């Protein structure tokens, strides 16, 4: 942490680079003007003495009895002190050091000094959903079996496949099966289709767990459960379909609770005149339900990890974009955004990709930044 703060304090913001260019030209000119002044006062002492004598009639504090060389030095120093761009050269790096220091005290680690200048111009604040707006600790809320499958069988088979997945939703299914004391077998031939679902074999049976698109790709008709899916999604839950050997087996709904400060932080950002957006791989109904709860204006749902970068680029056509995320799949978008803000409780790769780290892991840090 200390190393990151020091690196930030040593970095340059764009306005400082501009100041350095100006001072690089201006300082030599001022020094040249000061030496020229000294030289002129030495070469033409009588001329300048006559000006001083005239001025002393109106300004009694003007001293006229110094030696010509001393008068020349005073004149040169006056030009140097008044004209030298000290504020221009010193104020920006000083402000940068103070800003990063205060940020660190308030739990906002600024890794890149340029982010300080860029963030103030942000027009859009884009949030990831899971783990950023929500706590990232989802729980199974509903299991709806279909056909000849029982609730326990549906949950057990889904947990067997999800046991090889690292996704929080998959882990929630595994945890629910454990809490019910169900046997969780190890799945063979596990594969993950990014942003769509997972598959594997359990006791020789082919199990699919995922979205409508994922089952449609396997030529499985999910329409009998479509109404149940829509009802669960309207409640802000993420619904996942389960199929066994090409037959629909049921749907499992997982809900992730909002972070306590999400609604307040997003409200404050909107009061600051910023536009808010949420980007997620979740389905549109669930995403819209969560967005409505926290007051987010713009929803980008069913976006695959590689699609997040493209969505950020589209928003950048409308203004400066700051992205807030916590997961591995957020890292490219954090880099693409004009300013990336990582939740400090998130993954290492997201933290490494971001310009600003919110140590406490809450969205109030975005307002502070």
Taking only the tens place, the pLDDT of each residue in 254-287 is 888 888 888 999 999 999 999 999 998 878 888 8
pLDDT for res 32: 93
C-alpha torsion sign, points 46, 47, 49, 54 = positive
Predicted pLDDT at 7? 59
Taking only the tens place, the pLDDT of each residue in 287-325 is: 888 898 899 989 988 887 778 888 988 998 898 999 998
Task: Report how far residue 169's alpha carbon sits from residue 239's, in angstroms, rounded to the nearest whole number.
Answer: 10
**If DSSP states are collapsed to H, E and C, what string results for the chain?**
CHHHHHHHHHCCCHHHHHHHHHHHHHHHHHHHHHHHHHHHHHHCHHHHHHHHHHHHHHCCCCCCCCCHHHHHHHHHHHHHHHHCCHHHHHHHHHHHHHHHHHHHHCCEEECCCHHHHHHCCEEEEEEEHHHHHECCCCEEEEEEECCCCCHHHHHHHHHHHHCCCCCHHHHHHHHHHHHCCCCCCCCEEEEEECCCEEEEEECCEEEEEECHHHHHHCCCCCHHHHHHHHHHHHCCCEEEEEEECCEEEEEEEEECCECCCHHHHHHHHHHCCCEEEEECCCCHHHHHHHHHHHCCCEEECCCCHHHHHHHHHHHHCCCEEEEEECCHHHHHHHHHCCEEEEECCCCHHHHHHCCEEECCCCCHHHHHC
**What integer is the mean pLDDT of 134-159?**
88
pLDDT tens per residue across span 172-216:
999 999 998 888 888 889 998 877 889 998 888 899 999 888 888
What is this structure's pTM?
A: 0.67
Owner of token pair 């199974």: 140
- 337's CB contacts (< 8 A; 6+ apart) are 126, 312, 316, 321, 322, 323
Residues 36-93 have pLDDT tens digits of 999 999 999 889 889 888 888 888 888 878 888 999 999 999 998 888 777 666 777 7
Long-range pairs, 284-289, Cβ under 8 A, ≥24: 285/230, 285/233, 285/234, 286/233, 286/236, 286/237, 286/238, 286/239, 287/129, 289/233, 289/234, 289/235, 289/236
Structure tokens at 111: 């890794």
Q: Give 147's Cβ-side CA count (13 Å radius).
A: 15
Q: What is the pLDDT of residues 222-231, one digit of tens each?
A: 888 888 888 8
pLDDT value of residue 88: 67
- CA 40 from centroid of its chain's CA atoms: 58
148: how many CB neighbours lie within 10 A of its CB?
A: 8
pLDDT at residue 127, rounded to an integer:
92
Higher pLDDT, 89 or 30: 30
Q: Which residues are catalytic?
A: 128
Give residue-wise pLDDT tens across range 109-138: 988 778 888 888 899 999 988 888 888 788
Q: What pLDDT is stored for residue 49 in this prediction? A: 87
pLDDT at residue 3 in the model? 64
Give the Å distances, CA to CA, from 195 to 124, 169, 198, 255, 298.
24, 12, 9, 17, 20
Rounded-to-10 torsion of CA 24, 29, 30, 32:
130
């Amino acid at each position: 942490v200390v190393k990151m703060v020091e690196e930030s304090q040593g970095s340059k913001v764009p306005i400082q680079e501009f100041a350095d260019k100006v001072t690089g030209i201006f300082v030599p000119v001022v020094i040249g003007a000061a030496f020229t002044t000294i030289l002129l006062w030495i070469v033409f002492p009588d001329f300048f003495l006559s000006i001083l004598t005239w001025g002393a009639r109106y300004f009694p504090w003007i001293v006229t009895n110094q030696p010509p060389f001393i008068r020349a030095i005073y004149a040169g120093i006056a030009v140097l002190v008044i004209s030298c761009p000290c504020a221009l050269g010193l104020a920006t790096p000083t402000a940068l050091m103070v800003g990063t220091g205060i940020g660190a005290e308030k739990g906002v680690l600024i890794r890149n000094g340029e982010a300080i200048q860029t963030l103030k111009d942000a027009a859009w604040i884009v949030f990831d959903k899971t783990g950023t707006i929500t706590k990232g600790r989802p729980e199974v809320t509903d299991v709806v079996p279909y056909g000849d499958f029982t609730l326990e069988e549906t949950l057990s088979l889904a947990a067997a496949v999800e046991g090889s997945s690292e996704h929080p939703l998959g882990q929630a299914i595994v945890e629910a099966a454990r809490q019910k004391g169900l046997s969780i077998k190890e799945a063979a031939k596990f594969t993950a289709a990014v942003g769509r679902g997972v598959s594997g074999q359990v006791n020789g049976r082919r199990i699919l767990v995922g979205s409508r698109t994922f089952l449609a790709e396997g030529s499985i008709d999910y329409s009998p459960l479509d109404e149940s899916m829509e009802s669960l999604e309207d409640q802000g839950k993420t619904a996942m379909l389960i199929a066994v050997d090409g037959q629909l087996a049921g749907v499992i709904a997982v809900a992730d609770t909002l972070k306590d400060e999400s609604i307040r932080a997003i409200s404050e950002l909107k009061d600051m005149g910023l536009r808010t957006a949420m980007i997620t791989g979740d389905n549109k109904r669930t995403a819209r339900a969560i967005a409505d709860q926290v007051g987010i204006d713009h929803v980008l749902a069913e976006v695959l990890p590689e699609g997040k970068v493209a969505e950020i680029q589209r928003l950048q056509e409308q203004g400066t974009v700051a992205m807030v995320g916590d997961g591995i799949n957020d890292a490219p978008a954090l880099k693409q955004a004009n300013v990336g803000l990582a939740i400090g409780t998130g993954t290492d790769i997201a933290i490494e990709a971001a310009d600003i780290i919110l140590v406490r892991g809450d969205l109030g840090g975005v307002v502070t930044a």
